[in-house]
Amino acid sequence: MVHVTRSTFLCLFLLCPTLNCTPMGFKNVAQGNEIEVAEGETVAKQNLFLKPLKNSMKSDWDALLQSTKTLEEDLKEELEGINLEKLTIPVNTIKREIEELKKCHNLVKIIFGEPGGSIQTDFEKPLHVWNDEPKDSLIKNQFEKSIWDIFDNLQIPTNEVIPESLHHIQLDCNKCAFQNLEYIERYKLLPGVHNEIQKQLRSTHGLEWFFESTRVAREGSKFHNIYSSSPYLEVQIKNHFQLTHHNNILQGLSKKEQDWIIFKCLLRRIDSEMQEAILEEEFIPDSDEDDIVTRLVLFGRKLKEFLLEDSKTGRPKDSSDFFLDVKDDLLKMRRILVNPEYTFFDDGFICGIDLLIYHFLHFLQSRLGLDPIYANIFSEDEERYKEELRRKYCLLGLAFNIEIWKAMLLDYTYYLSVSIFKVKPTEVKKSEEIQKLFYWNNLRDCFIAYKKERIKQLDEDRNWKDILESNSFYKMLVDKLDLDASKLGNLYEDIKFTTDPNRFGLFI
């Protein structure tokens, strides 16, 4: 049988390595604007899902049934030849979720009729069913119970006991459950249940579950590759193909709750020792106050305490007061960012503790409103220094933007290549092409923004090239980005070739 090998994919895309760093999002700090096409496409994609159309109920219902059917078939296929003795709990959890989904679908048909029929042109019909028409209360209770059972099964932790070979099945099971719950809410089939679920999600337990449920990358699993990553930025939660439904949950949280989730995701960029030192206030291995690791851990603790302030005291602390409290930390961090020392490239990936400074500054900017260049607390800095920091901060942001969209594109390309010979409905194939094009367009727009900014910076200061190249890291950074930009056309052709089932020469 013709199949995709992981080594073939890696060999192909190692020819065009990417930067392993955190993106800035859609913001272009230097120009104070947004990459309009990328942002517009993201918003359009979300709105298309959130706004029900009268002709969409039947297609949404069909997609719901197809997803559950595919999940059941995939689970059966993966379990062939596996010793189930040690997998009883996780496998039974997935099987139970499938049965609950099917039960819920049957109850929808019993109560409302086949979706796309009588209620297709009347979105208020579900309310009339419960309010005006006599219905067996037992059936209604069963329907409500099936929804809660689906939600409860979602929250059963299985990551620690489920083997790598079933990790993708667990992710698909979660997506089916989310898809079902969102369908119930979208068409108001059980008014009030969505608000109750939201309350549970916003509890301490619910927030921790949500964070853990975003761990989509797992080494050794079927679709894992060098570009796989659990989200460490909000843009990934919104746009990662394995987290289709998580953004809707995130947007339903309060600003403070969102900040906490995104902060915890950000800490995935550092090793587990530093994470524990920040979150659990464990002992710092090197307690020298001038050590970069120690300084960043101490700053991370201060930021953590600020984010948790209102939950502890009931009195939220103003962000401007927090910025004043950490002013000295920020001044030191900005100086390091201008001339980073602890950075290096490893097979095309950016590594180094200094870059965590950028991630912290970007979090303060995007979530708490700090201008990392021109805020009043930095008024004592010379204008020339601010200008150099602004340009370098902007370049880092553009580089991280390119990284995140390239990683999502190539991660998705690998996902498609592994499943290329799987029989899929036409609608699924169409949606996969749309998703792939969405990633590509955002990556292309990021490169366009980078090239424009590079030209702008060189035009503004004839000495800028020499200033930039005086630091080895920034010299290597722009050299690599320029090279990647020149090879963008080749990357596009490689992706087309990799995901084309008619070109069997690649898959040997």
SS (H, E, C) 239-283: HCHHHCCHHHHHHCCCHHHHHHHHHHHHHHHCCHHHHHHHHCCCC
Residue 391 CA to its chain's centroid (Å): 27
pLDDT tens, position by position, 165-211: 899 999 999 999 999 999 999 999 998 898 999 999 999 999 999 99
pLDDT tens, position by position, 111-155: 888 886 654 444 445 555 555 554 567 888 899 999 999 999 998
Residues sharing a CB contact under 8 Å with residue 218, sequence separation 6 or more, in sequence order: 159, 164, 167, 224
Instruction: Tell whether 304 and 418 lie within a shared domain.
Output: yes
Please give the tally of structural domains in the chain. 2
Instruction: Tell whether 278 and 422 lie within a shared domain.
Output: yes
Instruction: Tell whether 116 and 139 lie within a shared domain.
Output: yes
Continuous segment of H or E residues that includes residue 345 = strand 344-346
Q: Number of C-alpha atoms within 13 angstroms, CB side, residue 497?
A: 13
With respect to residue 263, please indicate whether it lies within any of the assigned structural domains. Answer: no
With respect to residue 258, please indicate whether it lies within any of the assigned structural domains. Answer: no
Report how far residue 365's alpha carbon sits from residue 372's, in angstroms, rounded to the nearest whole number: 7
Which pTM does this prediction carry?
0.85
Dihedral of alpha carbons 251, 257, 261, 266, sign: positive
With respect to residue 262, please indicate whether it lies within any of the assigned structural domains. Answer: no
Report how far residue 227's alpha carbon sits from residue 10's, in angstroms, rounded to the nearest whole number: 10
With respect to residue 213, please indicate whether it lies within any of the assigned structural domains. Answer: yes
Instruction: Tell whether 201 and 321 lie within a shared domain.
Output: no
Instruction: Tell whether 38 and 64 lie within a shared domain.
Output: no
Instruction: Tell whether 182 and 239 lie within a shared domain.
Output: yes
Instruction: Tell whether 31 and 144 lie within a shared domain.
Output: no
SS (H, E, C) 138-177: HHHHHHHHHHHHHHHHHCCCCCCCCCHHHHHHHHHHHHHH
* CA-based nearest residue to 442, from 229, 242, 235: 235
pLDDT tens, position by position, 358-417: 999 999 999 999 999 999 999 999 999 999 999 999 999 999 999 999 999 999 999 999
Boundary residue ending a domain (197, 216, 249): 249
Instruction: Tell whether 58 and 115 lie within a shared domain.
Output: yes
Q: What is the DSSP string of 327-371?
A: HHHHHHHHHHHHS--S-EEETTEEE-TTHHHHHHHHHHHHHH---
For residue 280 the two structure tokens come to 């659990």
For residue 94 the two structure tokens come to 């997935």
With respect to residue 256, please indicate whether it lies within any of the assigned structural domains. Answer: no
Question: Domain limits at 327?
Answer: 6-44+268-506
Instruction: Tell whether 376 and 435 lie within a shared domain.
Output: yes
Contact 47, 38 (CB under 8 A): no
Residue 47 CB-density burial (10 A; 0-12 exposed, 13-18 middle, 19+ buried)? exposed
Residues above pLDDT 90, as percent of the chain: 62
For residue 52 the two structure tokens come to 């029900």
Confidence class for position 461, pLDDT limits 50, 70, 90: very high
